[in-house]
Structure 1
Amino acid sequence: MTTTQDSTNSVAPQTNRWPAVAAVAVGTFLLVTAEQLPIGLLSPVGSELRISEGTAGLMMTGASIVAALAAPAVPLVIGRLDRRVLLVVLMGLMTAANAISAVAPNFAILLASRVLVGIAIGGFWAVAAGLAVRLVTDKAVSKATALIFGGVGAANVLGVPLGTALGGFAGWRLAFVALSILALVVCLVLVAVLPPLVATQPVGPRQLADQLRNPGARAGILATFLLVTGHFAAYTFVGPILQQLAGIDAAFVGPLLLGFGAAGIVGNFLAGATLGRALHRTVLGIAAGLTVLVLLYPLLGHGPIGAVILLIGWGLIFGGVSVSLQTWMITAAPNAVEAASALWVAVFNLAIGLGALAGGAVVNAVSLQAVLIFAGVLLALATLAVWSGRGALASVPETED
């Protein structure tokens, strides 16, 4: 992979800090799982707090939108603050926010706690996204990035089944308690293993604006928005799709989503292994593969066998999305990794919320088959955006690690 060096780190690390990389990966997993958790808890939360499932869905939409705002805002506000201190503080905020969620007496308090979760998600992910170049040597950046985004990818594909399982076995409040306890553990581990990460050139409005003038970063942001919006427009309704379209019993939906998640974890590391040699071709293959699979679902997903095969393929390919697109952004903006990552994380989280919202509108107005076609069209546009960005990365040699 091409050498990248963030402007916040003037000296490239001479040794690999794998415990620190692993701790950041677990942190991103917990934060993004917290973002996805409400999807599996809508019914029990709505029932206990006497609100509709649609209203309960604001727990996820609200956190995603706040995370999108926090991703660029936090780096702007903190200036030269040691990123090690920032990550620890944000994980502490995550601990407190989920504890508040667990004891919330009404929906207003619960929604306020989700705002705090959104701040933690956006700030932590925006900084963590570019940390690989500061924690490992140049040759290990691809592997470290894959590990960090193994946490993000695993959370994106496992968040729903984990939330459903925790809520079913222990109750929705205990699900938040579990997240709070795990966040506290990660907070303490971060204190122990992270080195000082002082920013010599903090992110400012100019650095953020520059990324919109960078053709490679601009193509990556557009591709991310279209791809993530398309995915979540369909994936938010994967349960009803499996039951109503494929005729699969509700009891098998949870295990199948775990299979989707397991395939996604494999896909994350498969993509990470190829990015150093063929970045553009890897991202293009992921976007095109998702387009084909989602568009095939209305045609071949009417029976259990076809639906399961397509679902596992979908998980395998989507698992490579986070690590691939983040690597695209690092490559397109090697001297402004934190700024580019902040914008990318903002767009990613915004697309999650908008995808779920748009998908719900299509399902309500038309049908489940229609939302798959809608998602497929967005994914096709994402493929075109990736294809159009090939020239922007042409000056970056794709070589063996």
Structure 2
Amino acid sequence: MRLPLIALAVSAFAIGTTEFVVMGLLPQMAADLGVSIPSAGLLVSGYALGVVIGGPLLAMATARLPRKTVLLVLMGVFVLGNLLCALAPNYETLMVARVIASLAHGSFFGAGAVVARHIAPEGKGAQAIALMFTGLTVANILGVPLGTLLGQALGWRATFWAVVILGVASLLILARNVPSLHELTPPRLRQELRVLRQPQVLLAMAMTVFGFGGIFTVFTYIVPILTSEAHLGESTISWVLVLFGLGATGGTLLGGRLADWKLMPALGVALATLCAFFLLFAGLMHLPAFAVASVFLIGFIGFLGGPALQARSVQQASEAPLLASTLNQSAFNLGNAGGAWLGASLLTDGHGYPHLAIAAASVTAVGLALTGFSAWLESRNRQMLVCDEAAGA
């Protein structure tokens, strides 16, 4: 079991690094490509929208192929996209290349989750999936800061060349260590699509969109915030970004425990705390010590609700495991894209970075309201069921 899961985790590390590393290289990429920082920030939106659209489409298109074949094809697409990023001569070509690289993202984690659960020992499927997703966590702790450091030293293209090498290594490890699993039953897509029309499933996806949308309204532009508002030196940025990964790891671990305890209350507390924090950040981001601490807190508080959001999606779409796991990645990245776009729009209109934090609080508040509505709807349906059973008796 261990080698196939390590192969999946290494692939997740490569995917996570290329998704988030642009945020650390935003000023360099904007200057080199001759575009504004808001325009460079839209490279985050482009990638995220590729995940949103490409994930479900590729999941359905490859549903009847062997899972190992799917993983290899998707990782090949990922390598091609990042190779085009490294070679892109201008902003427009880079945007297209980012979208190509992103197409593999959602469906890779959907297929990878199915493989991880299947090869795990009895009763350890969730742990196997969690091990695969540690690759994303480690990407935030190591991949993004190291990629930022490499880009600052040798130019942003060097970072994408490093991701290409990492992607090829992942492809070879997957080919060598993941079993073919011909015995897996192809998913029934019609049944899965029917499940995904349920109101609570759609609410769970919307909660993920707005729950993470606020985070990326601010975090997409965290480097210019640190340099222009808190006046930190560029040489310190890559090390400060490590704090985000550490915070996200700690928040995810604690959030998993809280979600197992009481899922919806834990999610409500996490989103309410995040909303309050963004309002505080808007007024204090100019203080260097607070700004540095905030990088950790954005990761910690922001990802505190992550396990609950994932659990809620899987819980409500339990009969649609392939599309549920893929669409949850799409929902996360729709929040990512929307947040980056909202931040870019505000900056383009002449608003300052504190306004981004206020907008982030507003987006998070919508996620909190949706969570409350979902909990109320669930409680009402439960009460109606009890009344119907009592009437029938």
TM-score bracket relative to the smaller structure: 0.7 to 0.9
Give the residue type in structure 2 aligned to 1:111: M
Structure 1 residue 120 and structure 2 residue 69: aligned? no
Give the residue type in structure 2 aligned to 1:196: S
From 150, 164, 171, the counterpart of 2:148: 164
Asked whether the 8 Å contact 2:44–2:336 carries over to 1, the reply is: no
Distance 1:156 1:387 in 2: 30
Distance 2:129 2:59 in 1: 20
| Inter-CA distance 219–21: structure 2 relative to 1 (3 Å threshold) | farther
Q: What TM-score do the two structures reach when normalised by structure 1? A: 0.83
State the Cα distance separating 1:53 from its structure 2 match. 4.7
Asked whether the 8 Å contact 2:274–2:302 carries over to 1, the reply is: yes
Distance 2:38 2:115 in 1: 37
Structure 1 residue 327 and structure 2 residue 328: aligned? no
Asked whether the 8 Å contact 1:283–1:321 carries over to 2, the reply is: yes
From 111, 135, 138, the counterpart of 2:95: 111
State the Cα distance separating 1:353 from its structure 2 match. 1.4
2:196 match: secondary structure? helix
1:41 aligns to what?
A: 25
CA RMSD for the aligned pairs? 2.9
Distance 1:129 1:380 in 2: 30
| Inter-CA distance 329–136: structure 2 relative to 1 (3 Å threshold) | farther
Structure 1 residue 27 and structure 2 residue 7: aligned? no
Asked whether the 8 Å contact 2:41–2:221 carries over to 1, the reply is: no
2:388 aligns to what?
A: none
1:379 aligns to what?
A: 364
From 247, 252, 263, the counterpart of 1:279: 263
State the Cα distance separating 1:169 from its structure 2 match. 2.0
Asked whether the 8 Å contact 2:50–2:103 carries over to 1, the reply is: yes
State the Cα distance separating 1:156 from its structure 2 match. 5.5
State the Cα distance separating 1:130 from its structure 2 match. 5.1
1:319 match: secondary structure? helix
1:85 aligns to what?
A: 69
From 351, 364, 368, the counterpart of 2:335: 351
From 182, 195, 209, the counterpart of 1:225: 209
| Inter-CA distance 384–112: structure 2 relative to 1 (3 Å threshold) | closer
Per-residue deviation, residues 227-273 of structure 1 (Å, max 9, x unmatched):
12111111112223334444444443332221122221222233334
- 1:203-242 alignment, distance < 5 Å: 204=189, 207-215=192-200, 217-242=201-226
Give the residue type in structure 1 aligned to 2:70: L
- Percent identical residues: 29
Distance 2:64 2:179 in 1: 15
1:399 aligns to what?
A: none
Q: Which stretch of the first structure deviates more once superposed, 179-188 or 58-67? A: 58-67
State the Cα distance separating 1:76 from its structure 2 match. 1.2
From 247, 254, 272, the counterpart of 1:270: 254
State the Cα distance separating 1:85 from its structure 2 match. 1.2
Q: Which stretch of the first structure deviates more once superposed, 50-59 or 352-361? A: 50-59
Distance 1:24 1:282 in 2: 29
Distance 2:38 2:226 in 1: 21
From 180, 184, 195, the counterpart of 1:196: 180
1:9 aligns to what?
A: none
Distance 2:276 2:30 in 1: 36
2:187 match: secondary structure? coil
2:297 aligns to what?
A: 313
Structure 1 residue 295 and structure 2 residue 274: aligned? no
1:186 aligns to what?
A: 170
Give the unaligned 5+ runs of structure 2. Answer: 383-393
| Inter-CA distance 313–60: structure 2 relative to 1 (3 Å threshold) | closer
Give the unaligned 5+ runs of structure 1. Answer: 1-16, 397-401
Give the residue type in structure 1 aligned to 2:189: G
Distance 1:149 1:393 in 2: 29
Distance 2:15 2:282 in 1: 33
Q: What TM-score do the two structures reach when normalised by structure 2? A: 0.84
Q: Which stretch of the first structure deviates more once superposed, 270-279 or 173-182? A: 270-279
Distance 1:27 1:253 in 2: 26
Distance 1:373 1:221 in 2: 23
- 1:132-143 alignment, distance < 5 Å: 132-137=116-121, 139-143=123-127
Distance 2:4 2:32 in 1: 40
State the Cα distance separating 1:379 from its structure 2 match. 1.0
- 1:239-250 alignment, distance < 5 Å: 239-250=223-234
Q: Which stretch of the first structure deviates more once superposed, 133-142 or 82-91? A: 133-142
